[in-house]
């Protein structure tokens, strides 16, 4: 439980840090979010910078779907995330994006653990109901286009999206390697 709190706190701080750097505001007008909405600024920053991270995939576009306002919306979005593509996996030295179902054929136990963790996290985030928005993201990975569902909040920014959240783990691993290499030199 303590680990989960640390992870959630880390992601919250990361998103808030990005938002402060972007100078985000959260005022909306009409049905479409304004350019100053926090999650939109975060996605624009990710879109601009994913190529520089050399993760093997790039955020190429996103489309605002709308507010998540009913229990049915919440369940539909949760299932779209749990059953959708967007989990980075390195196969033969090449990064691909797969679903948990596809990952299950590789490592059934780990796939089930990931599914439980994602479901728990989503349940916690979706209970907050902080002006939730649904956004579909388009990622390009080795010439293939993947679409994923993103849950965002008008006030907190990006709350969950498969590729981005899992990319943070890859970035952390790469940063640790760089730090370890620099310490040995």
Q: Tell me, what's the pLDDT at 26?
A: 35
Q: Tell me, what's the pLDDT at 8?
A: 35
Q: Tell me, what's the pLDDT at 115?
A: 87
Give the integer Cα–Cα distance in Å for 50 and 170: 12
Q: Give the pLDDT confidence of 143-153 residue by residue, as tens digits.
A: 889 999 999 98
> Do 150 and 160 contact (CB within 8 A), yes or no?
yes
Task: Kindly tell me if the per-residue pLDDT of 9 is higher than 80.
Answer: no
pLDDT, greater one: 170 or 144: 144
> Do 134 and 143 contact (CB within 8 A), yes or no?
no
Task: Kindly tell me if the per-residue pLDDT of 92 is higher than 90.
Answer: no
Helix 162-184 × helix 2-22 angle, to 10°: 90
Average predicted confidence (pLDDT) for the chain: 74
> What is the extent of the structural domain holding 64?
2-184
Task: Kindly tell me if the per-residue pLDDT of 171 is higher than 70.
Answer: no
Q: Give the pLDDT confidence of 10-69 residue by residue, as tens digits.
A: 343 344 444 333 433 333 334 556 766 899 999 999 888 887 777 778 999 999 999 988
Q: In what order do the strands lie in the sheet with 144-153?
A: 58-67, 132-141, 144-153, 157-161
Burial class (CB in 10 A: 0-12, 13-18, 19+), 47: middle
What predicted TM-score, i.e. pTM, was given to this entire model?
0.70
Confidence grade of residue 6 (pLDDT, cut at 50, 70, 90): very low
Confidence grade of residue 179 (pLDDT, cut at 50, 70, 90): low
Confidence grade of residue 123 (pLDDT, cut at 50, 70, 90): confident
> Count of domains in the chain?
1
Q: Tell me, what's the pLDDT at 168?
A: 57
């Amino acid at each position: 439980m303590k680990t989960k709190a640390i992870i959630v706190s880390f992601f919250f701080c990361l998103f808030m840090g990005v938002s402060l750097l972007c100078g985000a505001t959260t005022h909306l007008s009409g049905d479409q979010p304004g350019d100053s909405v926090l999650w939109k600024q975060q996605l624009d920053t990710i879109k601009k910078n994913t190529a520089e991270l050399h993760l093997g995939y790039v955020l190429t576009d996103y489309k605002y779907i709308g507010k998540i306002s009913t229990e049915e919306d919440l369940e539909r979005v949760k299932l779209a995330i749990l059953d959708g593509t967007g989990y980075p996996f390195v196969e033969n030295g090449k990064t691909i994006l797969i679903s948990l179902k596809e990952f299950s054929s590789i490592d059934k136990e780990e796939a089930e653990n990931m599914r439980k963790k994602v479901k728990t996290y989503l349940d916690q985030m979706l209970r907050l109901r902080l002006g939730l928005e649904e956004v579909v993201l388009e990622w390009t990975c080795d010439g293939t286009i993947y679409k994923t569902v993103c849950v965002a909040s008008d006030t907190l920014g990006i709350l969950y999206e498969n590729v981005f959240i899992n990319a943070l783990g890859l970035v952390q691993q790469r940063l640790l390697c760089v730090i370890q290499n620099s310490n040995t030199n």
